[in-house]
Amino acid sequence: MKIYINNLNIDVLSIIMNNIKEQYIDSETYIQIDSLDGNYQINTNTIKKLNCVDDDIKIYNNYYENFSLIVDPSYYTRENVNKIPPQHISTKTKRCFFKINKNSEIKLVVEGIVIEENTQTKNSSNNDYGINPNDIYFETTDNIDINDALIKKEIIVFLSLLN
């Protein structure tokens, strides 16, 4: 399940990432393939076709101060495949994960296009993560209640860091 922060200015994602360095726990890099036949993901020598299982979103207006959240319970099933369509667009993508503590049920994900080493500059604020960030959301594996006291507390801690 993904939880999006409505109307967050993604132009400041690099600054946000610098503000939450202490909560960084891990990252994953993969190749995203987009084609007319569908979306694919390549991870360490496996190719998976992503099949969307769509569900209705819920909007929580003014969840915390001026932040509204969009909860999307949609997900992808992954099907092993042996080839990708010849006409496609590929993007090397990295997802950086942040948690309030290691036992948290929810994590903040900042996703972006990988910056190749030869194109990075020493003045780039993205050097710590090696990406040009273009998406941010909370992620959880379960269909949790975001109004649960502990979950809400963790989300509010992150939202307060985003100001």
Taking the C-alpha atoms of residue 107 and residue 155, their distance in angstroms, rounded to an integer, is 9
Question: Which pLDDT score is estimated for 119?
Answer: 53
Taking the C-alpha atoms of residue 70 and residue 62, their distance in angstroms, rounded to an integer, is 11
Across the range 139-156, mean pLDDT stands at 89
Taking the C-alpha atoms of residue 77 and residue 119, their distance in angstroms, rounded to an integer, is 34
Tell me the CB-side half-sphere exposure of residue 109, using CA atoms within 13 A.
20
Q: What is the pLDDT of residues 45-104, one digit of tens each?
A: 899 999 999 999 999 999 998 899 999 999 999 999 999 999 999 999 999 999 998 889
What global pTM score does this model have?
0.89
Taking the C-alpha atoms of residue 90 and residue 29, their distance in angstroms, rounded to an integer, is 13
Residues of the chain with pLDDT > 70: what percent? Answer: 93
Q: Predicted confidence band at 27 (pLDDT cuts at 50, 70, 90)? A: very high
Residues of the chain with pLDDT > 90: what percent? Answer: 72
Neighbouring C-beta atoms of residue 159, cutoff 10 Å = 19
Question: Which pLDDT score is estimated for 118?
Answer: 59
Which amino acid appears at position 88 of this protein?
Answer: H
* Pairs from 150-155 (Cβ < 8 Å, separation ≥ 24): 150/105, 151/105, 151/106, 154/100, 154/104, 154/105, 154/106, 155/3, 155/63, 155/64, 155/69, 155/106
CATH architecture of 2-162: Alpha-Beta Barrel (3.20)
Q: How do the domains of the chain map onto residue ranges?
A: 2-162
Taking the C-alpha atoms of residue 14 and residue 69, their distance in angstroms, rounded to an integer, is 21
pLDDT at position 125 over 80: no
Question: Which pLDDT score is estimated for 149?
Answer: 92
